Amino acid sequence: MIKKIIIGQNTGFIEKAKKILKDAIEEAKEIKEFEDVTVFATVEALNKVLTVQRKRMLDVIRSTKITSINHLAKCLGRDVKNVHRDLKLLDAYGFVELKREGRRIVPVVPYSRLEVEIPIGKPNELKAAA
């Protein structure tokens, strides 16, 4: 599955993204690989959420059989509290899923890749949209 991240400069762009998602949901019966879409207003907003350290976390979760948050923290060489905080943020934006297995919480990355769509326009168009 693919997670699509859309960067938009104005509400018109966000409305367009919502329409694309609505159309995709209506056609979901015919879609085998549904795209999960998250919209950020700016590239900077995306970068605040998906830092290099959090991207590395996604890579480790995806490539390793992580059994708990403690296990992930050990793999990353980071404090468990900080890893847990980052996981909650990534879960809120849909980058990870936190599955309960008994007393443990196991992070899962259900996507094989992240796809970022950034509109490019004339400088005047971007200023007008801001």
Question: What pLDDT digit, counting tens, does each position of 8-61 carry?
Answer: 655 566 676 667 767 766 665 555 555 678 888 888 999 999 999 999 999 999
**Tokens in use for 51?**
């830092």
Q: Answer whether residue 129 is part of any domain.
A: no
Q: Answer whether residue 16 is part of any domain.
A: yes
Least Cα distance to 108 among 124, 94, 119 occurs for 94
pLDDT, one tens digit per residue, over 60-115 is 999 999 999 999 999 999 999 999 999 999 999 999 999 999 999 999 998 888 88
Strands 97-101 and 104-108: antiparallel
Q: Answer whether residue 128 is part of any domain.
A: no
Give residue 64's domain range.
2-122
Number of domains in the chain: 1
Q: Answer whether residue 130 is part of any domain.
A: no
Q: Answer whether residue 55 is part of any domain.
A: yes
Least Cα distance to 104 among 73, 60, 125 occurs for 73
Kindly compute the dihedral angle of the four CA atoms of residues 37, 38, 44, 49, in this order, to the nearest 10 degrees: -120
Q: Answer whether residue 127 is part of any domain.
A: no
Tell me the HSE value of 9 on the side-chain side, using a 13 A CA sphere: 13
Domain with 50 in it: what CATH number? Answer: 1.10.10.10
pTM of the model: 0.71
In which band, very low, low, confident or very high, does the pLDDT at 122 lie, cut at 50, 70 and 90? low
**pLDDT value of position 51:** 95
